[in-house]
Amino acid sequence: MDLERHSIKLGKRPGLVIVDVVKGFTDPACPLGTDCPDVVEANRQLLDAFRARDLPVFFTTVIYRTEDIARVFRERVPALNVLTPGSDWVKVDPRIAPLPGETIIEKQWASSFFKTDLDDRLKAAGADSLVVTGLTTSGCVRATVLDGLQNDYPVVVPREAVGDRNPDAHAANLFDMHAKYADVMSLEETLALLPERE
């Protein structure tokens, strides 16, 4: 039997959190990467819409500056070790390059909230809800969505703007997030929810 759930939608000032749409995840030449031009394009459309409305935008990337950070995570997934400060893999995909003044949050674990100042920055920007996008659905996107909820933000996930190396994991995690943690909807529906510029 399905749990009863209520759609919360977005508030008056949603923030866009683009999770790890960096070269290491969008370039199949990287061991962490996959070819996902449709996901990048959906994120570009969302970025355009948020920028046009002067709504807060945040990017995340994963960077390991010392050997001891996230030691267990890196032992479990050794490919993460390519994400070093001087590597091109940690740079936001140029198709959605941040504009001057837009924030890039450095993280070392799955959630964009864990041991970062994302929540403080969202509050400072007046964000009252979140649109969470990016890579990968079953990993860092799901972890960020869950922590978004746990920080009391209504969360929307546009299904075209998230992706995963594993299609089955992608579908299962979208189902699970929608059941408990977020409103999973189409890109078109998400864009329709955005408030007009004041």
pLDDT at 150 over 70: yes
Alpha carbons within 13 A on the beta-carbon side of 185: 16
Catalytic entry in 140, 162, 174, 182: 140
**Please, which pLDDT band fits residue 9 given cuts at 50, 70 and 90?**
confident
Residue-wise DSSP of 74-93: HHHSGGGGG--TT-GGGSBP
Q: Give, in order, the Cα–Cα distances in Å from 71 to each of 64, 80, 84, 160, 194.
A: 10, 10, 14, 32, 39
Cβ atoms of 134 and 60 closer than 8 Å: yes
Please name the amino acid found at residue 134: G
pLDDT at 78 over 70: yes
Tokens of 135: 């890579």
Q: Phi-psi bin for 17: left (phi > 0), alpha (psi -120 to 50), beta?
A: beta
Residue that is written with structure tokens 């941040």 in the block: 98
Supply the pTM of this predicted model: 0.96
Integer Cα distance of 51 and 57 in angstroms: 8
**Please, which pLDDT band fits residue 1 given cuts at 50, 70 and 90?**
low
pLDDT in tens, 88-111: 999 999 999 999 999 999 999 999
Please name the amino acid found at residue 54: D
Instruction: Judge whether 30 counts as a catalytic residue.
Output: no
Cβ atoms of 143 and 137 closer than 8 Å: no
- CB atoms under 10 Å from CB of 36, counted, come to 22
Cβ atoms of 157 and 183 closer than 8 Å: yes
**Domains, the chain:** 14-193 (3.40.50.850)
132 DSSP β-pair partners: 17
**Please, which pLDDT band fits residue 156 given cuts at 50, 70 and 90?**
very high
